Amino acid sequence: MSLGTAFWRLLRRDLLLAVRRGNEWINPLVFFVIVVSLFPLGIGPGAKTLQLIGPGIVWVSALLATLLALDGLFRSDHQDGALELILLSPHPLSVLVLAKVLAHWLITGLPLVLLSPLLGVLLHQDAKVFGVLMATLALGTATLSLIGAIGAALTVGVRRGGVLLSLLVLPLYVPVLIFGSNAVASAGMGLAVEGQLSLMGGGLFLALALAPVATAAALRVSVE
């Protein structure tokens, strides 16, 4: 089969599996909402404070929810042997990895983006920032999925790899977090956000170009 067919088949398979196992996409979403709700409970419900730190809260919670979902990216395939079969295919592994990461983003990242305005309301965010919030989260979660796939591939063969995955991947997430929440905060103050959005777009394209290659190399090392 051609590379395009293989890409589409793998994407379709992952999406079908996720739809059938509702857990895979519902759990990170619920986690996202719960973590966002924890902050007002921990910090205090004052509207002014929440308005100030709201973008940061949504962004950090989105980051943690993405991390939670990343563990399952390769693990279930590794456990039933499907990952080895994918590795044996004649098609370039980085393209197949891209299919899996795209499926992962559609399952976990996109719902986060769509749910974010609701959480913005919970944190007393102005409606005018919702557009920027969704745009930065869309660009950001895609980048996070790509970078996180490297970590997931490196830790797929490790026992208790979940915490190690967070340790490896969070330092690489820091620039995305900084620009994403900064963009939303600037939008809230009425300042321009083109700079931050451009840098995030640039980061996404850099990750799109390089992360699948690193992930493929890491998979070959982990699965031996």
Partner 1 sequence: MYLWVHKLGSPRYFYSFARVVAPLLAVFCAVTMVWGLYQGLVVAPTDYQQGESYRIMYVHVPAAWMSMFIYVVMAFASAISLIWHIKLADLIAQKSAPIGATFTFLALATGSLWGKPMWGTWWVWDARLTSELVLLFLYLGYMALHEAYDNPSTGAKAAAILALVGVVNIPIIHFSVEWWHTLHQSASVSKLGKPSMPSSMLVPLLVMAVSFKAFYGTVLLWSVQAKVLEREYRSKWVRELLLGAKT
Question: In the complex, which residues of this chain contact partner 1 (CB under 8 A)?
Answer: 150, 154-155, 157-158, 161, 164, 167-168, 170-172, 174-175, 178, 214, 217-218, 221-222, 224
Q: Are 157 and 78 in contact (CB under 8 A)?
A: yes
The nearest distance, CB 221 to partner 1, in angstroms, is: 4
Q: Whole-number minimum distance, CB 158 to partner 1, in Å?
A: 5
What is the widest separation between alpha-carbon atoms in the chain? Answer: 59
- CB 191 to partner 1: min, Å: 16
**Comparison of 61 and 222: residue with beta carbon closer to partner 1:** 222
User: 106 or 164: whose CB is closer to partner 1?
Assistant: 164
Beta-strand (E) ranges in the chain?
A: none
Q: How far is the CB of 25 from partner 1 (least distance, A)?
A: 27
Residue 22 sits at φ, ψ, to 5 deg, of: -55, -35
Q: How far is the CB of 163 from partner 1 (least distance, A)?
A: 9
Judged by beta carbon, residue 47 or residue 209, the one nearer partner 1 is 209
Cβ distance to partner 1 smaller for residue 115 or 200:
200
Closest to partner 1 by CB, 138 or 154: 154
Tokens for 121, please give them. 């309301």
Residue ranges of E strands in 84-170: none
Q: Of 12 and 220, which has the nearer Cβ to partner 1?
A: 220
Q: How far is the CB of 76 from partner 1 (least distance, A)?
A: 20
